[in-house]
């Protein structure tokens, strides 16, 4: 019974945090994205990355794409997550340029169109990236992450529970998405740091 209550609590918290970020005006969203970009530029994990994945924001998610011009100037290869076809809630990462053909996936989110052969050749598994910028619904003072509930990043990054090459994981969010503590599940993949428009918290 206790786990049922925990699930209900988690769902309620997820709903509440999503409502908070969706309540932000377009002006507040733009300002938060610019401030996030300034914070990200100071991180050594970002400054040394040669291959990095961003994401296109939906439903009030903070926008990391403001970092794109700065990354391009530094000759960093930028990737976007794509739903893996015929796979249960897992992601590939596909190279992204200004001319990349895009298509909406089944959730209505824009992603590089894998029907183009060049796109398929430009895809990488997560372990081949240096740094992943990961969206989230909530985070806590220890850099634990609450995702959307679909498990896409947890499944795609499950290899990080085993030895081997692994990217740096950086969560990004609005400051209003921070809570004191979140429940941690065994399958959760830990982030190294969570960055918001007002600062960051590192995993201890």
Binding residue numbers for substrate: 56, 61
SS (H, E, C) the chain: CHHHHHHHHHHHHHHHHHHHHHCCCHHHHHHHHHHHHHHHHCCHHHHCCCEEECCCCCCCCCCHHHHHHHHHHCCCEEEEEEECCCCCCCEEEEECCCCCCEEECCCCCEEECCCCHHHHHCEECHHHCCEEEEECCEECCCCCEECCCCCHHHHHCHHHHCCCCCCEEEEEECHHHECCCCCCCCCCCCCCEEEECCEEEECC
Distance CA 149, CA 136 (A): 10
Q: Token digits for 31?
A: 């300002």
Question: In DSSP terms, which residues pair with 173 in a beta bridge?
Answer: 196
Binding-site residues for ATP, in ranges, read 10-14, 145-153
Binding-site residues, in ranges, read 10-14, 56, 61, 145-153
Closest C-alpha to 140, from 200, 58, 61: 200
């Amino acid at each position: 019974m206790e786990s049922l209550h925990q699930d209900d609590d988690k769902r309620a918290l997820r709903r509440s945090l999503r409502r908070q970020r969706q309540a932000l005006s377009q002006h507040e969203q733009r300002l938060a994205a610019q401030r996030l970009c300034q914070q990200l530029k100071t991180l050594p994990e970002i400054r040394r990355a040669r291959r990095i994945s961003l994401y296109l924001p939906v439903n009030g998610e903070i926008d990391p794409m403001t970092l794109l011009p700065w990354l391009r100037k530094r000759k960093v290869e930028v990737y976007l997550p794509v739903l893996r076809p015929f796979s249960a809630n897992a992601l590939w990462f596909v190279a992204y340029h200004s001319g990349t053909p895009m298509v909406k996936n089944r959730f209505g989110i824009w992603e590089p169109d894998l029907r183009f052969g060049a796109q398929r050749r430009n895809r990488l598994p997560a372990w081949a990236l240096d740094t992943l910028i990961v969206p989230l619904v909530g985070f806590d003072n220890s850099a634990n992450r609450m995702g959307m509930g679909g498990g896409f990043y947890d499944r795609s990054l499950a290899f990080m529970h085993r030895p081997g090459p692994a990217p740096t994981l950086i969560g990004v969010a609005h400051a209003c998405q921070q809570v004191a503590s979140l429940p941690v599940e065994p399958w959760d993949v830990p982030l190294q740091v969570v960055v918001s428009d007002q600062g960051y918290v590192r995993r201890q």
